Amino acid sequence: MSRLHNKTALITGGTSGIGLETARQFIAEGARVAVTGTNPATIEAARAELGDKALVIQANAGDVAGQKAVAEAIENAFGHLDILFVNAGAADFRPIEQFDEEAFDRSVAVNVKGPFFLIQALMPILANPTSIVLNTSINAHIGMPNTSVYALTKAALLSFAKTLSGELIGRGIRVNAVSPGPVATPLYGKLGMSVADTDAMAAAKIPAGRFGNPSEIAKAVVFLASDESTYTVGSELVIDGGMSNL
């Protein structure tokens, strides 16, 4: 396939999970790819796997100055950018009583402030046309306990997709969103959930009866990044196995 032939793409949080799988698929579709990450172990693993097919950049997704540095690295490497997949995110699930200001601010920085200022920093090098895809969440739509801060940040990101699409379409920049449900990535292990826990969650809350696969989200991102979706503007693709319909 060559749906992204000669396109340049940046994937934030692209060294593991959905981001890394999207990088694989972008490369398979002919794109030149850059990915960002913060974890030294996953950064090195991504470098080893992707090799010279991708530029791997260490960057803190919640640091405003860091977003400017990423934009400079992309300009130096590619000159311009055709595709941006804003995938990096922080998932901090806890009861409202357990949140302090530092934890709240970290989630907002990574999930809202960083993406906003990354897009701002990239504006001078965004091509006409450009496709921006924001990775939001079904938590922007459902009242899941212990996700108050995560959900509000993803709702803000979804709002960006709608408002920025209207603001930027005149410059040939399309902005859309994917909103995954639970996906089988290392995230749930980091949250302390066992395989039994995730199986029980899937059985109780997901009509499809299972978690999604990163490849299923990546395929949707490829569609939104490609010229197949040129009439798709300010839209949201919900990919959750039916979870938000319960």
Please identify which residue in the block is written with the tokens 């959900």: 151
The pair of three-digit structure tokens given for residue 172, joined into one six-digit string: 């040939």
188 is known as an active-site residue: no
Active-site residue (options: 85, 93, 117, 150): 150
Q: Give the model confidence (pLDDT) of 85-137 as tens digits.
A: 999 999 999 999 999 999 999 999 999 999 999 999 999 999 999 999 999 99
Q: What is the mean pLDDT of the chain?
A: 94
**Domains plus CATH for the chain?**
8-236 (3.40.50.720)
Residues 42 and 122: their CA atoms lie apart, in Å, by 25
Q: Give the model confidence (pLDDT) of 172-202 as tens digits.
A: 999 999 999 999 876 555 555 566 666 666 7
Q: Give the model confidence (pLDDT) of 203-218 as tens digits.
A: 678 999 999 999 999 9
Query: Please, where are the H alpha helices in the chain?
Result: 17-28, 40-50, 64-78, 101-108, 114-122, 148-168, 187-190, 195-205, 214-225
